[in-house]
A and B are shown apart, each in its own frame.
Chain A
Amino acid sequence: QVQLVQSGAEVKKPGASVKISCKASGYIFSTYDISWVRQAPGQGLEWMGWISVYNDKTTYAQKLQGRVTMTTDTSTSTAYMELRSLRSDDTAVYYCARNYGEDYWGQGTLVTVSS
């Protein structure tokens, strides 16, 4: 069965970086894009961007440009999302989703940014 399993919770200081993994199984990894969505505590959803696993083409939300990098490792069927220069308002649960969220999502990774 299809699964997206994300890495565990992280606590970071302002200015640091975080890299979250999303390991896919149960399907051919290269045939679907991976999207990243985040949700601040008690807040709504924010689409961060996506990566084409096929050709590594990325599309990022403009507000995150320069701070976010999405990558994949096809040898391990794993997608990664790195966010740099963390601020307190980056505290959120980060989700990966297959393609554009139409079917499978990861369980979410809580990133807490606090001094």
Chain B
Amino acid sequence: DVVMTQSPLSLPVTLGQPASISCRSSQSLVYSDGSTFLNWFQQRPGQSPRRLIYKVSNRDSGVPDRFSGSGSGTDFTLKISRVEAEDVGVYYCMQGTHWPYTFGQGTKLEIK
């Protein structure tokens, strides 16, 4: 199975400051058609997961533009330009290139 490794696992951030989460995969996530199926999910406390970013850098509908994704191959990053209180929760990267799909361990974002 593809192992997804996130860092940091805990991310205290001051309101209004930027945040960045790294995700590395144990093998390339480039699919045979050239697409890279790397997604980012947010899970707020007590809620179901919600996808924020798909195929590395595409924001889902309704996702604020302060969220952005980047990367290629095996190294990916989720950035929040200015953290707001509603961003508290756990963030997971997830690969959908190789079955079984796998998630990172999660990064817990909290307000400092």
Residues of A near any B CB (own CB < 8 A):
37, 44-47, 49, 59, 61-63, 95, 97, 100-103, 105-108
Asked if residues A62 and B49 are in contact (CB atoms below 8 Å), the reply is no
Asked if residues A44 and B48 are in contact (CB atoms below 8 Å), the reply is no
Asked if residues A47 and B54 are in contact (CB atoms below 8 Å), the reply is no
Partner among A45, A97, A102 whose Cβ is within 8 Å of the Cβ of B92? A45
Partner among B54, B96, B100 whose Cβ is within 8 Å of the Cβ of A61? B100
Least Cβ distance of B77 to chain A in Å? 19
Least Cβ distance of A100 to chain B in Å? 6
The range of chain B's interface size is 20 to 34
Majority SS of interface residues in chain A?
A: mixed
Residues of B near any A CB (own CB < 8 A):
39, 41, 43, 48-51, 54, 60-61, 92, 94, 96, 99-106
Asked if residues B106 and A44 are in contact (CB atoms below 8 Å), the reply is yes
Chain B hits for A97, CB < 8 A:
48
A101/B106 contact (C-beta < 8 A), A61-B100, A62-B100 known = no
Chain B hits for A101, CB < 8 A:
39, 41, 49, 51
Question: Can you name 7 A-B pairs with beta carbons within 8 Å?
Answer: A44-B105, A45-B41, A47-B101, A61-B100, A100-B101, A101-B49, A103-B60
Partner among B51, B92, B103, B105 whose Cβ is within 8 Å of the Cβ of A103? B51
Asked if residues B104 and A44 are in contact (CB atoms below 8 Å), the reply is yes
Asked if residues A106 and B51 are in contact (CB atoms below 8 Å), the reply is no
Least Cβ distance of B112 to chain A in Å? 22
